[in-house]
Amino acid sequence: MEEKKVGHGQHLKAVNHPIRREMLRMVFENESIQEKELLDKLIGENIIEDSNLFKYHMDFLLQALCVEKINQEGTTLYKILPGGRVIENF
């Protein structure tokens, strides 16, 4: 399988957005987190309003190789990747 390259600009755009930064922080703190738990936390903390906004920002983080999506036993998990670990510096 060919490894996908992510440009520096795309990566910066992914991690510098306030909503995506909060998403990364929550995934990082848990190492991996269920999609429903993450979505509930983000809505509960008034970071996002709905699942459509969640999907938009999560797709961006997935494309920038900041998080990995894992489908496991009917549940979706998100796991932090090295590209998303820059959140440690914020």
Residue 3 within any structural domain of the chain: no
Residue 34 within any structural domain of the chain: yes
Structurally, how many domains does the chain consist of?
1
pTM above 0.85, yes or no: yes
Residue 71 within any structural domain of the chain: yes
Residue 4 within any structural domain of the chain: no
Could you identify the residue written with the tokens 């496991």? 72
Q: What does the pLDDT read at residue 22?
A: 95
Residue 89 within any structural domain of the chain: no
Q: What does the pLDDT read at residue 41?
A: 97
Residue 2 within any structural domain of the chain: no
CA 39/CA 42 separation, integer angstroms: 5
CATH code for position 68: 1.10.10.10
- Greatest Cα-to-Cα distance within the chain, rounded to the nearest angstrom: 39
Would you give per-residue pLDDT tens digits along the chain (90 residues)?
Answer: 434 566 778 888 888 899 999 999 999 999 899 999 999 999 999 999 999 999 999 999 999 999 999 998 999 999 999 989 886 665
14 Cβ contact list (under 8 Å, min separation 6) = 20, 60, 61, 63, 64, 66
| Residue range of the domain that includes 48 | 9-83
What kind and span of H or E run contains 14?
Answer: helix 8-16
Q: What does the pLDDT read at residue 2?
A: 39
Could you identify the residue written with the tokens 């509930």? 40
